[in-house]
Amino acid sequence: MRSSAVIHLVGSLTCALALAGCVTTPPPPRATPAAAARPAPAAVVTPQAPPSAASEAVRQHFAGVQRDLLANGLLRTDGGGRDTPFTDRMLAENFIRIALFDEYARGPGGPTQRQTASRLRRWEAPVRVGLRFGPSVSASSRATDTARVSSYLARLSRLTGHPISLSDSAPNFFVYIVNEDERRGLGPTAAAALPGLSPSEMNGITAMPLSTYCLVYAMSEGSSGRYSRAFAVIRSEHPDLLRLSCIHEEIAQGLGLANDSPRARPSIFNDDEEFALLTGQDELMLRILYNPALRPGMTEPEARPIVESLARSLVGGDS
């Protein structure tokens, strides 16, 4: 999505920050896996507290955003069809651009948008997703979101062949669904989950601009490409489809498809926001990413021939 990005911290750790539907880039400090085990829940406002004026303004803003996108034929939920054909070569090139390049680079002033070559990143350990809600989120919304996230994780696990599930037993991938006021107080929680975040990167969470729909930070162990933890933030003010769209994109980006490409279609990894939910091509990219023929840390020259071969086997033909 045009309003999302992912940022990777490299060094001892790699952090991926996803804003409204994009992915991002490299380098930072390391933390032990146990550090992200039990960050405190985000409870910045009193339970059952009515939304503040700021939160209500955000809700109205994104209601208008979704309305306009739908009116223009965007946020499709069909996963692609006869109007969005792609070949094995297109699949391979889209995968390379999305999995082996970063959209954002880490710098002293915070993340800056700049396409840079990267390494293949994915999880080797089981992904244990801890879903957390702000006190402002109603019981009915919590139930709906929990069911949707659980179903989506099961789908991702089937696609990748990798263990991915909701879990409150030492989660390593946190998803926070919070309103404007609760998000502003997430600093200590994010710092506990992702040691090494710079003040500017932390500010990306606590002072998230309206141009950012949602985000995810993913951390890897140095240049190994092996993810060890992730932290996603989704606005609870989003209307139903934008909220589900954020769930789809940020979790998928936090699995390793961190970049966006204007050429990827049908795909949620595209800033044009044509598609709201994971598409058929996105599913194939996840299957490629977690294929055992590839290894975390691979560069584009190392991965390209394998990716091209896998794409041919998935799509067929010599196109």
The single-letter code of the amino acid at 41 is P
- Predicted confidence (pLDDT) per residue in 182-209, tens digit: 999 999 999 999 988 889 889 999 999 9
pLDDT of residue 232 exceeding 50, the answer is yes
pLDDT of residue 12 exceeding 50, the answer is no
Within 10 angstroms of residue 113's Cβ, the number of other Cβ atoms is 12
Indicate whether this model's pTM tops 0.75. yes
Query: Once rounded to an integer, what is the mean pLDDT over residues 306-312?
Result: 98
Please check whether residue 98 lies inside any domain of the structure: yes
Contact 215, 157 (CB under 8 A): no
pLDDT of residue 125 exceeding 60, the answer is yes
pLDDT of residue 291 exceeding 90, the answer is yes
- Predicted confidence (pLDDT) per residue in 207-220, tens digit: 999 999 999 999 98
Please check whether residue 106 lies inside any domain of the structure: yes
Q: What is the rounded CA–CA span in Å between residue 102 and residue 20?
A: 15
Please check whether residue 1 lies inside any domain of the structure: no
Q: What is the rounded CA–CA span in Å between residue 219 and residue 215?
A: 14
Contact 236, 54 (CB under 8 A): no
Nearest Cα to 213, choosing from 158, 163, 276, 152?
276
Read off the pLDDT band of 223 (50, 70, 90): confident
Read off the pLDDT band of 260 (50, 70, 90): very high
Per DSSP (E only), the strands in the chain are: 6-9, 101-105, 112-117, 122-123, 127-133, 164-166, 173-178, 214-220, 226-235
- Across the strands, what pairs with 101? 117
Q: What is the model's pLDDT at position 6?
A: 62
Q: Where are the alpha helices (DSSP H) in 161-299?
A: 180-184, 187-193, 199-206, 240-253, 280-289
Query: Once rounded to an integer, what is the mean pLDDT over residues 13-35?
Result: 35
Please report, to the nearest 10 degrees, the dihedral formed by the alpha carbons of residues 236, 3, 176, 184 taken in order.
-80
Coil vs helix vs strand at 206: helix
Q: Of 67-71, 195-199, 285-289, where does mean pLDDT reach its minimum?
A: 195-199
Q: What is the model's pLDDT at position 17?
A: 41
Tally of structural domains, the chain: 1
Q: What is the rounded CA–CA span in Å between residue 114 and residue 253?
A: 17
pLDDT of residue 14 exceeding 70, the answer is no
Please check whether residue 84 lies inside any domain of the structure: yes
Query: Once rounded to an integer, what is the mean pLDDT over residues 140-148?
Result: 97
Query: Once rounded to an integer, what is the mean pLDDT over residues 153-167?
Result: 98
Q: What is the rounded CA–CA span in Å between residue 21 and residue 246?
A: 7
Please check whether residue 259 lies inside any domain of the structure: yes
Mean confidence (pLDDT) of the chain? 86
Please check whether residue 79 lies inside any domain of the structure: yes
Look up the domain containing 29 and give its range: 6-315
